[in-house]
Amino acid sequence: MSEKKTAIVIGTGAGGATMAKELQGEYQVTILEEGGRFRPFSYSVDKLAGFRRTGVYRDERMIQMLFPNMVVDKNKDMVMVRGKGIGGTTTLATGNAVRYDGAIRKLGIDLDAEFEELYEELPITTEHQKYWTDTTKKMFALFEEMGLDPVVTPKLLNPEKCVGCGHCAIGCPTGAKWDTRSLLEDAVMQGADLVTGCKVTDLTIEDGVVTTVHAKAKGGSRTFTADLVVLAAGGLGTPVILEKSGIPCQETLFVDPVLCVAGVIPGIRQDQQLLMPFISQQEGYILSPYIDYLSFFFNRQWRKPITGLVSMMIKLADEENGSVSGRKIRKTMTMRDEERMGRAVAQCRKILERLGVPKEEQFPGTLNAGHPGGMLPLTEAERETLHSPLLPENLYVADATILPEAMGNPPILTIMALAKRIASIIKQG
């Protein structure tokens, strides 16, 4: 009997967890995760908000004091947010199961079969609509009246478990929201090994193959070897590992910038509704109701009681013109980005005004971003292999790094579909 082939999967987010589950069995999989166990937010937002005026929340990078699994990087233009720990950023995402693969399809990559599998395997639902608060229903009706064509967001969710705490983006306390930890549990039950507290730094490449994975862990450095290596450390993490391994990426980083425009309506309790319950697709961006906790804790203009905050989110499909190298992130808004953002802000102001917030009483949030990717974008030449010629033959990338352009949309489902296809290609090969 031949010995089972081995695989190392780096990262436990949408791409990494999917790859681990799909490969385990045909491969003996070892999963490497920089962080540890995810802990959902379990404190009172109102009580912690009382400390805002003391100045204790001075810098957005201090967010880990409140949310240990949330990591913030910062440059002069915006704040970058990502998850750290088992489940990656999926534990902090709002559970949106949006299919958005138009740019991928233009390359000749048809993921219909993979999406169909995901629809069957995952708890994707729009049934949460029947649990909406009166505030959410009013917002949806207003979007319709304004011709903004709102669509109920497909959610990775068990609606009956949802208690309306509004903590979707800081850790669901009831388990109503699905994340990739369940895929990892399945993979481990099937025999995969999960190693936490293990930060991969670089890869040794010899004769066109990865021979060694180098990592930092408690107690010192560690090395791993395997027949196959899958890199899914995220749109900021993967390019750094590739660069340190001698594989150049492109300066085509996108981040899907997010800006919220807010106001106060006493007692509206938007904080007790599902985040992003519906989405309005516009040219180059989306609009959706969303309470931004980063702005709430660290933006002076947001020092209001959360019970009265009403907020509209803009998520922008930005131009691919940035990079990450080491710990330095270079990313700025272009003229096109600024023009689109200005148009979106004007729409949000009209929405808030219709809800009862005068324009002079509206205020912006903190410009932030949490969907980095695009620095090793797929091309039409790779439509069959999903494997860049820059990569060693036994190394695949399976995260947002390979997306061909900014989505301006929730990426989890699309990344998972790509990861499924990559896993299938590997197993067939």
d(CA 31, CA 215): 12
d(CA 344, CA 287): 8
Q: Which pLDDT score is estimated for 42? A: 63
Tell me: pLDDT of 60 over 80. Answer: no
Report which residue type is found at 148: L
d(CA 109, CA 369): 27
Report which residue type is found at 205: I
pLDDT level of residue 1 (50, 70, 90 thresholds): very low
Q: What CA–CA distances, in Å, run from 204 to 148, 207, 229, 387, 399?
A: 51, 10, 11, 19, 21
| pLDDT average, residue stretch 93-103 | 95
| pLDDT average, residue stretch 29-49 | 79
- Residue 174 is assigned to a structural domain of this protein: no
Clarify whether residues 225 and 316 are in a common domain.
no
- Residue 163 is assigned to a structural domain of this protein: yes
| pLDDT average, residue stretch 357-377 | 96
- Residue 87 is assigned to a structural domain of this protein: no
Task: Say which residue the tokens 């102001």 belong to.
Answer: 349
| Local structure of residue 124 (DSSP, 8 states) | E
Closest CA to 77 of 241, 253, 233: 253
Burial category of 149 from C-beta neighbours within 10 Å (exposed 0-12, middle 13-18, buried 19 and up): exposed
Number of domains in the chain: 2
Length of the chain: 429
Clarify whether residues 49 and 159 are in a common domain.
yes
Tell me: pLDDT of 2 over 60. Answer: no
**Listed residues 369, 384, 404: the one ending a domain:** 369
Q: Which pLDDT score is estimated for 46? A: 66
**Listed residues 319, 349, 369: the one ending a domain:** 369
pLDDT digits (tens, 9 = 90+) for 406-420: 999 999 999 999 999
Clarify whether residues 217 and 349 are in a common domain.
no
Tell me: pLDDT of 389 over 80. Answer: yes
Clarify whether residues 235 and 137 are in a common domain.
no
Q: Which pLDDT score is estimated for 297? A: 84
Mark residue 184 as left, alpha or beta (left: phi above 0; alpha: psi -120 to 50; beta: remaining): alpha
Clarify whether residues 329 and 285 are in a common domain.
yes
Clarify whether residues 282 and 313 are in a common domain.
yes
Q: What is the DSSP string of 182-245?
A: HHHHHHHHTT-EEE-SEEEEEEEEETTEEEEEEEEETTEEEEE--SEEEE-S-TTHHHHHHHHT
- How far, rounded to the nearest angstrom, does the alpha carbon of residue 320 sit from its chain's CA centroid? 17
Q: Which pLDDT score is estimated for 96? A: 96
Clarify whether residues 210 and 333 are in a common domain.
no
| pLDDT average, residue stretch 8-17 | 98
Measured in degrees and rounded to the nearest 5, phi and psi for residue 285 equal -165, 170
pLDDT digits (tens, 9 = 90+) for 136-191: 999 999 999 999 999 999 999 998 888 888 888 878 888 899 999 999 999 999 99
Q: Which pLDDT score is estimated for 44? A: 64
Clarify whether residues 162 and 205 are in a common domain.
no
pLDDT digits (tens, 9 = 90+) for 213-249: 999 998 899 999 999 999 999 999 999 999 999 999 9
- H or E stretch at 19: helix 14-23
- Residue 131 is assigned to a structural domain of this protein: yes
Tell me: pLDDT of 404 over 80. Answer: yes
Tell me: pLDDT of 51 over 60. Answer: no
Strand partners, 394: none
pLDDT digits (tens, 9 = 90+) for 248-267: 999 999 999 999 999 999 99
Closest CA to 138 of 335, 352, 345, 349: 352
| pLDDT average, residue stretch 386-415 | 97
| Local structure of residue 380 (DSSP, 8 states) | G
- Residue 102 is assigned to a structural domain of this protein: no
pTM of the model: 0.94
Clarify whether residues 230 and 244 are in a common domain.
yes
Clarify whether residues 192 and 319 are in a common domain.
no
- Residue 105 is assigned to a structural domain of this protein: no
Return the sign of the alpha-carbon dihedral for residues 259, 261, 266, 272: negative
Tell me: pLDDT of 339 over 60. Answer: yes
Clarify whether residues 185 and 63 are in a common domain.
no
Clarify whether residues 305 and 235 are in a common domain.
no
Q: What is the DSSP string of 407-429?
A: -SS--HHHHHHHHHHHHHHHHH-
CATH number, domain containing residue 19: 3.50.50.60
| pLDDT average, residue stretch 333-347 | 97
* Domain limits for position 406: 5-37+179-248+374-428
Closest CA to 157 of 140, 141, 174: 174
Q: What is the three-class DSSP state of 244?
A: helix
Tell me: pLDDT of 323 over 60. Answer: yes
Mean pLDDT of the chain: 92
Contact 224, 213 (CB under 8 A): yes
- Residue 113 is assigned to a structural domain of this protein: no
